[in-house]
């Protein structure tokens, strides 16, 4: 895998940064960051840790982002092996049960803002990069979802997330899961594998200090799905090797 090229959106901190660390020795890693200074600081840390890394300043919600990302990888490498769609937002407290997230009271501005990053921008970016991923002998697309995107678990009164209803965030991740299923079906006769990852409730800026999982654990699911062997699964929803219900 030494010649593999990986792209991690929002890779300047949190789970994206940790996933970049996990890919050390497995791929050349390009991280994206909206803020150039934060991106450069993260890049310096990655390189100090021995990761072969580069930086692409990119805000995936900008209309120009998909074309800019395609141009960068097409010009510099001509292909892309691994895409980790890590960039995401959560309005309010996470996982949160605040009124701003309730289905009946969620402001449309919040709903649109969360979907813009977690779904629409992610789909647009992935579709733009797909021609380059298809050129890889073993393309891998990892969509950073959440257990909070599981409709089955949200509907089950016995599930651990039954009362963790944060509508804007949850719905955006359910939509992303649907994209995973549909794209995996579309690519079923290719070597490209598409999967959704639940990293766990991790101590990050989004997850908060009360999260039970250390950051070092949070990147393991994304890393596993980014480096799947040829016989690995596609169109699945996973956490630490375990399948989650849609």
pLDDT at 209 over 80: no
- The tens digit of pLDDT for each residue in 94-133 reads 444 444 578 998 889 889 999 999 999 999 999 999 999 9
Neighbours of 12 (CB within 10 A): 27
Q: What tokens does 28 get? A: 């050349």
For the chain, the residue count is 246
User: Helix or strand or coil: residue 200?
Assistant: coil
Percent of the chain with pLDDT over 70: 89
- For the chain, what is the largest distance between any 2 Cα atoms, rounded to a whole number of angstroms? 51
Give the per-residue pLDDT at 115: 95
d(CA 98, CA 89): 16
User: Helix or strand or coil: residue 20?
Assistant: helix
**CATH fold of 5-89+118-146+179-241, please?**
Rossmann fold (3.40.50)
Radius of gyration in angstroms for the set of CA atoms belonging to the chain, rounded to a whole number: 17
- The tens digit of pLDDT for each residue in 223-234 reads 999 999 999 999
Neighbours of 182 (CB within 10 A): 13
- The tens digit of pLDDT for each residue in 76-87 reads 999 999 999 999
DSSP annotation of 159:
S
Q: Do strands 242-243 and 237-239 pair parallel, antiparallel, or not at all (unpaired)?
A: antiparallel
- The tens digit of pLDDT for each residue in 167-183 reads 999 999 999 999 999 99
pTM: 0.92
Within 8 A by CB and 6+ apart from 146, the residues are 169, 170, 173, 198, 199
- Compute the average pLDDT of residues 194-223: 73
How many helices (H) and strands (E) in the chain? 9, 8
Within 8 A by CB and 6+ apart from 153, the residues are 147, 159, 160, 161, 162, 244, 245
pLDDT at 28 over 90: yes
Give the per-residue pLDDT at 102: 84
3-state secondary structure 91-155: CCCCCCCCHHHCCCCCCHHHHHHHHHHHHHHHHHHHHHHHHHHCCCCCCEEEEECCHHHCHHHHH
Give the per-residue pLDDT at 1: 44
Give the per-residue pLDDT at 92: 59
């Amino acid at each position: 895998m030494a010649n593999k090229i990986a792209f991690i959106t929002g890779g300047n901190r949190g789970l994206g940064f940790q996933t970049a660390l996990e890919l050390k020795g497995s791929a050349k890693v390009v991280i994206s960051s909206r803020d150039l200074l934060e991106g450069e600081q993260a890049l310096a840390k990655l390189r100090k840790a021995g990761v072969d890394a580069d930086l692409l300043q990119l805000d995936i919600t900008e209309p120009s982002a998909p074309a800019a990302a395609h141009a960068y990888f097409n010009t510099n490498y001509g292909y892309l092996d691994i895409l980790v769609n890590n960039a995401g937002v959560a309005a309010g407290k996470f996982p949160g049960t605040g009124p701003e997230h309730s289905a009946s009271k969620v402001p449309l501005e919040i709903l649109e803002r969360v979907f813009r990053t977690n779904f629409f921008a992610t789909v647009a970016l992935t579709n733009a990069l797909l021609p380059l991923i298809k050129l890889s002998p073993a393309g891998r697309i990892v969509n950073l979802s959440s257990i909070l995107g599981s409709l089955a678990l949200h509907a089950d009164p016995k599930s651990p997330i039954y009362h963790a209803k944060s509508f804007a965030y949850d719905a955006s991740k359910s939509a992303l899961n649907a994209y995973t299923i549909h794209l995996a079906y579309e690519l079923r006769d290719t070597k490209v594998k598409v999967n959704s990852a639940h990293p766990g409730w991790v101590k990050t800026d989004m997850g908060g200090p009360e999260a039970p999982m250390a950051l070092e654990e949070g990147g393991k699911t994304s890393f596993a799905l980014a480096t799947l062997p040829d016989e690995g699964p596609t169109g699945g929803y996973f956490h630490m090797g375990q399948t989650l219900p849609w």
